[in-house]
Structure 1
């Protein structure tokens, strides 16, 4: 149903955000991220004991495109 909207102020929009005013059929945001992390980086919980004596994270990546998002709805 159409609506009348007054003034709108947008301070910021994130990388994978959608801003819409009005009628819409389908909204599909796309986002791609690559994360490099060392050993024990994403451990969560109580009372963890982690021994990482020598942790090396390989960030060498020869390809330019890891995940294509063009045309993915």
Structure 2
């Protein structure tokens, strides 16, 4: 079996560049997540039609006798 030689790259790696790339990737990922989440969360709001359907209904019940039913 042959021996595999792995070069020491840890010493030659530029740590400041790596930190910058990790930070930039994290920042762009956060911006992308907000960009995706904003329309998704705003879609949870009810539409104008749904708001109108859930609005209170005013009915005059002064003329209803006990046991009588009406349609509003």
Same fold (TM over 0.5): no
Larger Rg: 2
Of the two structures, which has the highest relative contact order with CA contacts closer than 8 Å and spacing of 6 or more? 1
Q: Which has the higher helix share?
A: 2
TM-score of the aligned structures, taking structure 1 as reference length: 0.19
